[in-house]
Amino acid sequence: MPYISVDFWWVRIFDFPHLQLTLLTALAIATYIIKFDFKDYRDYIFISALIACFIFQFIKIYPYTTFAKYEVLNATNPVKKPFSVLTANVLQENENTDMVMKEIDTMDADVVLFTEVNNRWLKAINQNISNNYRYSVKYPLDNTYGMAMYSKLPLINPKVKFLVSDSIPSIHTKVILNQKDTIQIYCIHPTPPMPQENPMSTDRDTEMMQIALLSSASKYAVVVMGDFNDVAWSQTSKLFKNVSTLLDVRLGRGFFSTYSAKSSILRWPLDHVFISEEFRHIKTQTCSDINSDHFPFYAQLSFEPDIAEEQRPNPPTKLEIERAKKQAERSKNSN
């Protein structure tokens, strides 16, 4: 279904459960072998189809297992240049602000992004967040798409932009690292393809492609973070990653599934940190429960531009760039 080129939510939703489908297919294969006799050619056709399904599903998720190679290499000197980010969807209706702020204090990231922030949440954050977070960009909303970014490091020319809709903000800012290097950060939270939110994936895909094109054109090292409402192995995320020429800290390290925190079975990675090749990996983790439907996602990085060439990704193809530009032009609003 996900390979069908339409944006309807009931097609795009099949991008999500590949891990669950892989496990179910493996269970079906084992059950069929144990419980049933192979009596004629139809049994072999059926088990061959199941095995083919398993291989197809496993190929999709394999890069996010610990059997695969790292895409973001480990830091050469983890102590020298650490830089950490954390993205947390707080769940607008969540009233347990203490759990959220306790986790923020524990992780102590340099840059923290809160999504689903309304005025009540913004007041709670401002009252409880450490004084070390001297810089911020805030845009609270009551539609579950408000966001607020707090930073210990200086921000340059921070802006709130509306790439697709005047009700869906994104944050664009440059950040000065401790070693005085300047990087570019994009924070996003596009709408999910769900009937109660948006029956089409068009707006989500459009925002992701616009950010991908901005990232690829940036003269600075780039970090893109937030609740993407998309899994890393979807066709849209793969196109985003290839066109932006960014790297995924998850590859080779694990799924780090952040949604749904309310279910131990139906869970997949929706919150992401994509980085350019100037960064190296120190630590990645899914954080503790904050009474939200998402777990926060944390990444500690090392800024090492001198050896960026060692993990530079392949440039996107002309077809990929054309597809991204075509999708980006479907925006309702200009930048």
**pLDDT confidence band for 87 (50 / 70 / 90):** very high
102, 222, 223, 275 from 216: Cα distances, Å: 36, 9, 11, 11
Top-confidence range, 45-49, 189-193, 271-275: 271-275
Give CA–CA dist 230/270, Å, rounded. Answer: 5
Which residue carries 């401790």 as its tokens? 178
What pLDDT shows up at residue 41?
87
Give the tokens for residue 318.
């002309």
Q: Which residue has the higher pLDDT, 56 or 274?
A: 274
What pLDDT shows up at residue 334?
42
Give CA–CA dist 315/292, Å, rounded. Answer: 37
Check: CB of residue 283 under 8 Å from CB of residue 299.
Answer: yes
Q: What is the mean pLDDT of the chain?
A: 91
Residue 218 has pLDDT above 90, yes or no: yes
Dihedral of CA 178/182/183/189: which sign? positive
What pLDDT shows up at residue 4?
57
Question: Over pLDDT 90: what percentage of the chain?
Answer: 73
pTM (two decimals)? 0.89
Top-confidence range, 38-47, 57-66, 285-294: 285-294
Q: Which residue has the higher pLDDT, 273 or 18?
A: 273
Burial class of 179 by CB neighbour count within 10 A (0 to 12, 13 to 18, 19+): exposed
Give CA–CA dist 292/242, Å, rounded. Answer: 31
Q: Residue 184: how many CA atoms within 13 Å on its side-chain side?
A: 18
Give the tokens for residue 18.
């590949």
Least-confidence region, from 78-82, 196-200, 272-276, 313-317: 196-200
Top-confidence range, 4-13, 71-80, 211-220: 211-220
What are residue 143's phi and psi, to 5 degrees? -100, 15
* Secondary element (H or E) of residue 223: strand 221-227
